[in-house]
Amino acid sequence: MSDMIKGVGSKESPLVSDLLDHDSGSVPECLKAEGNYCPESRRVPFSLYYDSNYAALEMEHVWKKCWQYACREEDVPEVGDRYPYEVGSLSFIVLRSAENEFRAFHNSCLHRGTKLCSSISSGDQVRCPFHGWSWNLDGSVREIPGQWDFPHVDESYRLPEVKLARWGGCLFINPDSDAGPLEEALGVLPEHFKNFDLANRFTLAVTQKKIRANWKHTWAAFLEAYHVAETHFDAVDFNGDSNTKYDCYDDGNTVISRLITPAAVPSPGLGDKVTAREAAIAAAQSFANALGPAAQASLPDFDQIPDYGRRHVAAWRRETMQNMLGADASNRCDSEMLDAIQYAMFPNFGPWLGEGLPLMYQFLPSGDNPDESLFTVRLLAPVPDGMPRPPSAPVTQLGFDEFFESLPEWGRIAHVFDQDMSNLPVIQAGMRAAAPERSYMMLGRYQEQRIRLMHEFIDQKIAEGQAS
């Protein structure tokens, strides 16, 4: 049964658990851990991806009720710095109100409703661009121009605040004033990330891309590796796509999921066409190409290493981490150095664990339009040992028809993202063209379980909201 549902690993492309057993480092328990939950098989109607009534339900019962990832602390490094967090038609100001204090407010003026913050900006007050009403960083009223005309406006006109909490260097908000603590929503994340210090990392690159597809499509593009063979056909030589391990966790409060796609092994779909050695060499070359000329020059002479394999690539990755970033990775196992280990906390938080691909994702609906979404991806590097935190890279923007490959900071990963992005509008359009009697997804039992989990999560939130 396990072969049937987890893909048949050839001798050269073993399952993740086999790889971890032979890992040359000390493997953290969280990587070996098995999820405790498998979402039910279900038919997911295509209409959930384009129906504006369903999008309105999501806004009301998911986005107004859930803990969600707004930005990183380093996005607002100085007191007074602020970040407009926009989700659908909702908008919040997330700001650093004191050295080690953050607050979030509804992004709307209490005079006549003008949006108060439209871009990443800074200042010792929040000031409306229309008539100049202003507030202090703690939300208290600062100045009402022409106060004589507003005897009915008193000190109670504080900016309405929303819940904000911190984890792993990230700022989360929840518009629901009755919400429980963030910890309830994080589930297994703190336990799984306890040896991978997300807070002590800085942003090397961050990009927000507009996409002509529903936000759930953009999420789903990263919830499974089943698409790799077709979409990323040029990466199968060194990625064990169908070897991917999927785990879902449900603790009664929240659901968390993750996948582990092993790198430096060939896809089982290649049969005997690519050996383990060739896969390891291809992986090393791919990492080096992403890291630039210095890394390329540091690659070994493969001809001298007849048994070149995963452990060699991982060892070289540890060296490049030390030499290029000044970061000690000696305690990281091979899997943490190489593999794609990607977590999901719905509705919008996608942190990666390890140095294989140290990314962080955010998925958001765009305005009231269910056919559009925003995808924010950042590349996080460890703060060099004993050094001050380097400044965060500025956010770059990509429009609907712009490509990651136009942004040099993304190196070779840009090509992979552009492959994923190119699918999305086509999926959105294709769903609307479906025959009425076949207008639902036919999800795989194992590899697409995280997509089922996402839909369970959303539907449960909507059901809870409608029942209350």
- Binding positions for Fe ion, rule: CB under 5 A: 420
Q: For residue 346, how many other CB atoms are within 10 A of its CB? A: 25
| Closest CB to ligand FES among residues 116, 359 | 116
| Closest CB to ligand FES among residues 22, 131 | 131
Contact stretch for ligand FES (CB under 6 A) within 75-83, 128-136, 292-300, 321-329: 128-136
- In 3D, which of 361, 370, 354 has the Cα closest to residue 432? 370
List 85, 102, 105, 133, residue binding ligand FES (CB under 6 A)? 133
| Closest CB to ligand FES among residues 141, 424 | 141
Q: Helix 310-325 and helix 276-291: axis angle, to 10°?
A: 10
115: Cβ contacts below 8 Å, ≥ 6 apart:
84, 91, 107, 108, 109
Q: How far is the CB of 449 from Fe ion (least distance, A)?
A: 17
| Closest CB to Fe ion among residues 278, 420 | 420
How does strand 395-398 pair with strand 201-211? parallel
Report the partner that residue 128 touches, choosing among Fe ion, ligand FES, none (CB closer than 5 to 8 A by kind).
Answer: ligand FES
151: Cβ contacts below 8 Å, ≥ 6 apart:
none
Report the partner that residue 133 touches, choosing among ligand FES, Fe ion, none (CB closer than 5 to 8 A by kind).
Answer: ligand FES
Using rule CB under 6 A, residue 117 touches ligand FES? no
Using rule CB under 6 A, residue 130 touches ligand FES? yes
List 43, 131, 166, 194, residue binding ligand FES (CB under 6 A)? 131
Instruction: Confirm if 366 and 88 have CB atoms less than 8 A apart.
Output: yes
Contact stretch for ligand FES (CB under 6 A) within 8-16, 109-117, 193-201, 218-226: 109-117
Number of residues this chain uses to bind ligand FES (CB under 6 A): 9
Contact stretch for ligand FES (CB under 6 A) within 50-58, 127-135, 201-209, 390-398: 127-135
| Closest CB to ligand FES among residues 115, 412 | 115
Report the partner that residue 341 touches, choosing among ligand FES, Fe ion, none (CB closer than 5 to 8 A by kind).
Answer: none
List 17, 114, 296, 298, residue binding ligand FES (CB under 6 A)? 114
| Closest CB to ligand FES among residues 111, 163 | 111
Contact stretch for ligand FES (CB under 6 A) within 58-66, 92-100, 124-132, 394-402: 124-132
| Closest CB to ligand FES among residues 157, 403 | 157
- Residue 340 β-bridge partners: 261
Report the partner that residue 109 touches, choosing among ligand FES, Fe ion, none (CB closer than 5 to 8 A by kind).
Answer: ligand FES
Give me the amino acid identity at 360: M
Report the partner that residue 111 touches, choosing among Fe ion, ligand FES, none (CB closer than 5 to 8 A by kind).
Answer: ligand FES
Q: How far is the CB of 135 from ligand FES (least distance, A)?
A: 10
List 109, 165, 255, 424, residue binding ligand FES (CB under 6 A)? 109
| Closest CB to ligand FES among residues 15, 117 | 117
| Closest CB to ligand FES among residues 114, 298 | 114
- In 3D, which of 327, 344, 303, 243 has the Cα closest to residue 18? 243
| Closest CB to Fe ion among residues 418, 420 | 420
Using rule CB under 6 A, residue 111 touches ligand FES? yes
Structure tokens at 329: 């990775």
| CA–CA dist 151, 25 (Å, integer) | 69
Q: How far is the CB of 445 from Fe ion (least distance, A)?
A: 20
Q: How far is the CB of 84 from ligand FES (least distance, A)?
A: 16
- Return residues touching ligand FES (CB under 6 A): 109, 111-112, 114, 128, 130-133
